[in-house]
Amino acid sequence: MKKYHKILVVGPSWVGDMVMAQSLFIALKNTRPDCRIDVLAPSWTLSLLERMPEVTNAIAMPLPRGKFGLMERIKLGLSLRSEGYDQAILLPNSWKSAIPPFFANIPIRTGYIGECRWGLLNDARKLDKNLLTMTVQRFVALGLPADTPMPPVCPQPALTISKDRQQAVIDKFKLTLSAAAPAPGSPAAYAPSMAIAESVPDRLTAYTPSMAIKILALCPGAEYGPAKRWPTEYYAEVARHKIDQGWQVWLFGSDKDKAVAEQINREASGFCTDFTGRTSVAEAVDLMSLANTVVSNDSGLMHVAAALDKKIIAIYGSSDPGFTPPLNDKARVISLNLDCAPCFKRDCPLGHTHCLTGITPDRVLELITLTQSGSK
């Protein structure tokens, strides 16, 4: 006889949204500790789910993003019938995302109405965007009974990090370097010297090894488009300044961010460590867990940094910090709140991107200093 409530969550496709979905998982566990949470999600997000202790099983969606694949979705649903789920919670609003839970014969199928999903959902919720102004609130609300008031605060995502995983990326990228003092101005002068603690808590979100030199992580990309990207030359100026102060600067991103990262590194005399296009999502998470401070556009990596409890400088241009803020009390958000923002456009419709160019490197450097000093 089953003694627990079994839930299938259909997860989002974007890295940042998947990180925010952990708030739902935590809330479900808080209200129903006996529940078991499985998550159906794109394969590139599975390594994030492995770092969420609330999730029992991560199931890879066998279809690429954007493909409808009706028969594949039906077959997937039929294959899940034997799991005996009590409830499905659908985070995407698409019609196709509701097909597997329907054919899995899950008795309660919860989600927002979205693309006219009345027949596929039997716990269809109407989204009140004026009440639920943040993405994380919309996720958490689906875990509550209908018409239940939202809690005043949503749980913050908290990815777990292990000593072994940290050591693995240190070894892979040859980051364990001598603590001996190198010649001033040499690249080795900016290399981290790391000592991994022998004892690390099982649930680790804010652990940074003992280092002789601080690490600044820069995340200059944004999948959505140029209107979310702080100027490359501004990132380079921040990198040069912190390198001159003895910091190590690491660059994070996907293959699409490689050209931007290379430009930053060139302007920083090649003293940055460029991880763009060289890491898996899992490795990026484990590497970022070693950083002291993160400067990022509004991107998936920003949300990863928040879930690692990092000190973050989050830069917003065309997007709204009130809609998808970094869920971390240590985060400092910079947004100029111009009359034209947020426009949510991929490219600036006015052709100037003042919402980003008006945020100076000096302002970001000032906030880095404040976060390191502990000032609010």
Per the structure block, which two tokens stand in for 12?
Answer: 């989002």
The residues, any chain, with a CB within 8 Å of residue 163's CB and separated by 6 or more, are 196, 197, 200, 204
Nearest to 279 by CA among 254, 311, 316: 254
Which pTM does this prediction carry? 0.89
Q: How many other C-beta atoms can be found within 10 angstroms of the C-beta atom of residue 239?
A: 26
3-state class (DSSP) for residue 165: helix
Whole-angstrom distance, CA of residue 316 vs CA of residue 341: 10
Same CATH topology for 6-141 and 163-373: the answer is yes
121 DSSP β-pair partners = none
| CATH superfamily, with its number, for domain 163-373 | Glycogen Phosphorylase B; (3.40.50.2000)
For domain 6-141, the question of CATH label 3.40.50.2000 is answered with: yes
Q: What torsion, rounded to 10 degrees, do the Cα atoms 233, 236, 238, 239 define?
A: 180
Please give the full DSSP string across 66-92, using - where no structure is assigned: T---HHHHHHHHHHTGGG--SEEEE-S
Give residue limits of the domains in the chain. Answer: 6-141, 163-373
Which of 349, 225, 224, 241 has its CA nearest to residue 295? 241
Backbone angles phi, psi at 259, to 5 degrees: -65, -40
Per-residue model confidence as pLDDT tens for the chain (376 residues): 466 799 999 999 999 999 999 999 999 999 999 999 999 999 999 999 999 999 999 999 988 777 888 999 999 999 999 999 999 999 999 999 999 999 999 999 999 998 788 889 999 999 999 999 999 999 999 999 998 999 999 999 999 999 999 999 999 999 854 333 333 344 444 444 443 433 344 444 444 555 567 899 999 987 777 788 899 999 999 999 999 999 999 999 999 999 999 999 999 999 999 999 999 999 999 999 999 999 999 999 999 999 999 999 999 988 899 999 999 999 999 999 888 888 888 888 888 889 999 999 999 999 999 988 765 4
Q: How far apart are CA 313 and CA 296, in angstroms?
A: 6
- According to DSSP, the residues that pair with 90 across neighbouring strands are 10, 111
